């Protein structure tokens, strides 16, 4: 039985890792959620995790003050790293969603973003919001919590952090995320290339006609039709790729 003070310190160490992860995790870290709600959610999740990892965290709670400060900093870095790794697929999807909006000619005045603070095109906001809903509907957020629990076995609470391994994980995840989202945006990139080549050829054949302005409604209609037919399969592909990655944590 741990003394009350050591138990409180162990709980704070758990909160450092869990809270840092939730600060960056998709959905929960959204600025649309009030700060107080995010704080209490992090506290509630930490309290749920404490009984499961108390035996692994308890020895660190008895460390000297300077070592304890180092452990707290490392715990925040580890939790933030897990959150970043879970969020990279959404960053890549946001980038590709803006690319899709641009290729279909629907990247007009940017609207408010669901996941971030930077404004996005309306189509990009729609795509990211749908992907975020699927993230929670398919219980992928539970995979992030499972990764948090598993991290206490992979990265013990001892104040030792290996930046080289972390950078390798970050670069590998970034590469996988962007390759997956490039496959998602590939039909729209091909559509944009074909349409622009066709419009350019028509403009060369009939230079007296403002082909660009005449073609815009047709380009927009074709892009929206492609979005309508392709988006279910593309979102299914994104959910499958993100789920496979999160389950491999």
Domain that holds residue 127: 4-247
Residue spans of the chain under pLDDT 70: 1-2, 4, 107-112, 115-116, 159
Write down the pTM of the prediction: 0.84
Handedness of CA 34, 35, 40, 45 (dihedral sign): positive
CA distance 241 to 235: 10
What 3-state class would DSSP assign to 120?
strand
> pLDDT tens digits, residue range 137-155?
998 989 998 988 888 888 8
- In this prediction, residue 111 carries a pLDDT of 67
What is the count of structural domains for the chain? Answer: 1
- Residue 111 in 3-state DSSP? strand
pLDDT at position 112: 67
User: What pLDDT is recorded for position 18?
Assistant: 92
Q: Using alpha carbons, list the distances in angstroms from residue 239 to 1, 81, 83, 232, 234.
A: 43, 21, 17, 11, 9
pLDDT number for residue 63? 77
Q: What is the pLDDT of residue 247?
A: 83
Position 137 scores a pLDDT of 92
Query: How big is the CA angle at 56 (ends 50 and 58), to the nearest 5 degrees?
Result: 75
The pLDDT tens digits for 48-62 are 888 888 888 888 878
Strand, coil or helix: what is 231?
Answer: helix
Q: Which residues contact 137 (CB under 8 A, 6 or more apart)?
A: none
């Amino acid at each position: 039985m741990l003394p009350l003070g050591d138990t409180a310190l162990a709980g704070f160490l758990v909160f450092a890792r869990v809270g840092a992860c939730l600060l960056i995790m998709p959905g929960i870290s959204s600025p649309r959620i009030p700060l107080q709600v995010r704080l209490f959610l992090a506290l509630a999740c930490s309290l749920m995790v404490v009984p499961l990892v108390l035996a692994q965290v308890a020895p660190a709670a008895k460390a000297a003050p300077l070592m304890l400060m180092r452990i707290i900093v490392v715990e925040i870095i580890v939790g933030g790293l897990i959150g970043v790794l879970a969020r990279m697929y959404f960053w890549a999807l946001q980038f590709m969603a803006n690319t899709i909006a641009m290729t279909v000619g629907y990247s007009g005045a940017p609207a408010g973003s669901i996941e971030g603070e930077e404004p996005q095109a309306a189509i990009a906001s729609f795509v990211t919001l749908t992907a975020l809903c699927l993230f929670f509907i398919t219980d992928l957020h539970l995979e992030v919590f499972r990764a948090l629990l598993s991290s206490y076995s992979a990265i013990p609470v001892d104040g030792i952090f290996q930046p080289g391994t972390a950078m390798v994980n970050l670069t590998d995840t970034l590469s996988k995320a962007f390759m997956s989202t490039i496959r998602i945006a590939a039909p729209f990139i091909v559509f944009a290339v074909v349409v622009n080549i066709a419009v350019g050829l028509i403009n060369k054949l009939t230079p007296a006609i403002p082909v660009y302005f005449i073609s815009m409604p047709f380009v927009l209609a074709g892009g929206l039709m492609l979005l309508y037919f392709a988006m279910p399969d593309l979102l299914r592909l994104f959910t499958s790729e993100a789920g496979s990655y999160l389950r491999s944590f």
